[in-house]
């Protein structure tokens, strides 16, 4: 009961309220928005962003960030297509493992530069955003295959992306499993709780004996693996792959994480909040055309949501700091 009350009193409740409001307004304008197919498509579109947001949450909690997620997603999606071009009968499991491994390798590269070489994550991932995208375009140019279509991929792979169990899409089930595992690990495993300690005060965490470098490196690897999985699911669901897959996803992912209540300054937040943030922003994006808002405003909405969330978090931090200062003054008096 106490855990439920804690959940309902946090940022998650505000997101749910905003989500209900957006859905209600859009349904009034277009009643078909909330039909079975509409809800199915909404959860499908949100699932990929949710996977990216879960991985990003692990990093933001430690005061790091990964701006290369869109490029890694595109690279792993293109890998899946190339594997099927080489052999259309390649088992779906093999393709999945290869994509996750490539994503984890990209995450390990970022993590090594951040945790070992001590280069700021913002600088590292801004650079690898272009490096990985360049590799993707270079690969496409070298092979002469700039777009891979559904006819070139395995029917089993495509069926997995569009399939469901008891009406729940496979993609949504995978995102739900990732959410449960990540949420449990962050709150019940020592290594998960140490990520919060690193984000709250890196110097104090090191003095307490926490292997900060190892934990941050692992967070990058896990995040990269989730990004790789998201790239594969994108390819499986949409059935069309080119070198530009994932372009611009980094803004949507960071916005979802911060809107979901994960402090950009590290040390607090939940993967549940990040997933709800992804669902909220995806719902808003789907609602804009129905409400008559031009498509080019979609990016502006993500940016505005990100600025608003950061401003609110900063205001809360300043208010808390002021309250603590007054309490100390009273005690000294």
Sign of the four-CA dihedral 213, 216, 222, 228 = negative
Domain with 316, as residue range(s), is 2-332
pLDDT at 7 over 60: no
Higher pLDDT residue, 61 or 307?
A: 61
How far are the Cα atoms of 22, 49, 109, 266, 310 from residue 12, in angstroms, in the given order? Answer: 15, 17, 33, 18, 16
Higher pLDDT residue, 64 or 203?
A: 64
pLDDT at 10 over 70: no
pLDDT at 288 over 50: yes
Question: CATH number of the domain that 217 lies in?
Answer: 1.10.3470
Q: What is the pLDDT of residue 181?
A: 96
Neighbouring CB atoms inside 10 A of 79's CB total: 23
Residues 265-276: tens digit of each pLDDT: 888 889 999 999
Domain count, the chain: 1
How crowded is the C-beta side of 131, counted as CA atoms within 13 Å?
11
How far apart (Å, rounded) are the C-alpha atoms in residues 44 and 37? 10
Q: What is the pLDDT of residue 97?
A: 95
Neighbouring CB atoms inside 10 A of 58's CB total: 28
Calculate ∠ Cα 130-134-136, nearest 5°.
120
28 token code pair: 């009034």
pLDDT at 8 over 50: no
Would you call 242 helix, strand, or coil by DSSP?
Answer: strand
Residue whose structure tokens are 């909405």: 301
Q: What is the pLDDT of residue 295?
A: 67
Residue whose structure tokens are 């209600």: 24
How far apart (Å, rounded) are the C-alpha atoms in residues 232 and 265? 31
pLDDT at 333 over 70: no
What pTM was computed for the model?
Answer: 0.90
Q: What is the pLDDT of residue 222?
A: 97
How far apart (Å, rounded) are the C-alpha atoms in residues 48 and 284? 16
Give the confidence band of 70 by pLDDT, cuts at 50, 70, 90.
Answer: very high
Residues 125-168: tens digit of each pLDDT: 999 999 999 999 999 999 888 899 999 999 999 999 888 888 88
Q: What is the pLDDT of residue 286?
A: 86
How far apart (Å, rounded) are the C-alpha atoms in residues 103 and 318? 38
Work out the mean pLDDT of the chain and round it to a whole number. Answer: 88
End-to-end C-alpha distance for the chain, whole angstroms: 39
Q: What is the pLDDT of residue 320?
A: 67
How far apart (Å, rounded) are the C-alpha atoms in residues 41 and 45? 6
How far apart (Å, rounded) are the C-alpha atoms in residues 63 and 57? 10
Higher pLDDT residue, 69 or 29?
A: 69
Give the confidence band of 18 by pLDDT, cuts at 50, 70, 90.
Answer: confident
**Mean pLDDT lowest for which of 33-37, 54-58, 154-158?**
33-37
- Which residues on adjacent β-strands are paired with residue 147? 242
Residues 204-241: tens digit of each pLDDT: 998 889 999 999 999 999 999 999 999 999 999 998 89
């Amino acid at each position: 009961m106490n855990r439920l009350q804690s959940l309902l009193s946090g940022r998650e409740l505000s997101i749910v309220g905003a989500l209900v409001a957006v859905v209600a307004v859009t349904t009034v304008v277009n009643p078909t928005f909330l039909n079975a197919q509409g809800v199915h498509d909404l959860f499908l579109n949100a699932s990929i962003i949710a996977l990216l947001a879960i991985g990003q949450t692990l990093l933001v909690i430690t005061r790091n960030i990964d701006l290369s997620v869109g490029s890694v997603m595109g690279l792993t999606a293109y890998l899946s297509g190339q594997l099927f071009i080489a052999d259309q009968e390649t088992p779906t499991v093999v393709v999945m493992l290869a994509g996750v491994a490539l994503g984890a390798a990209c995450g390990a590269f970022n993590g090594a530069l951040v945790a070992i070489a001590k280069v700021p994550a913002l600088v590292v991932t801004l650079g690898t955003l272009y490096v990985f995208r360049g590799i993707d375009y270079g690969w496409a140019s070298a092979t002469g295959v700039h777009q891979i279509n559904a006819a070139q991929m395995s029917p089993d792979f495509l069926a997995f992306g569009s399939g469901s169990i008891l009406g729940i899409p496979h993609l949504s089930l995978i995102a739900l499993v990732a959410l449960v595992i990540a949420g449990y690990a962050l709150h019940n495993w020592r290594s998960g709780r140490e990520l919060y300690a690193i984000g709250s005060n890196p110097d104090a965490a090191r003095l307490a004996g926490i292997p900060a470098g190892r934990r941050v490196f692992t967070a990058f690897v896990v995040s990269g693996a989730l990004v790789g999985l998201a790239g594969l699911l994108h390819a499986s669901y949409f059935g069309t792959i080119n070198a530009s897959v994932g372009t611009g996803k980094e803004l949507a992912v960071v916005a979802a994480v911060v809107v979901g209540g994960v402090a950009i300054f590290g040390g607090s937040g939940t993967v549940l909040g990040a997933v709800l943030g992804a669902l909220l922003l995806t719902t808003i994006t789907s609602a804009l055309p129905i409400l008559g808002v031009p498509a080019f405003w979609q990016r502006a909405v993500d940016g505005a949501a990100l600025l608003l969330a950061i401003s609110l978090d900063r205001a809360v931090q300043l208010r808390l700091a002021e309250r603590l200062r007054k309490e100390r003054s009273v005690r000294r008096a």
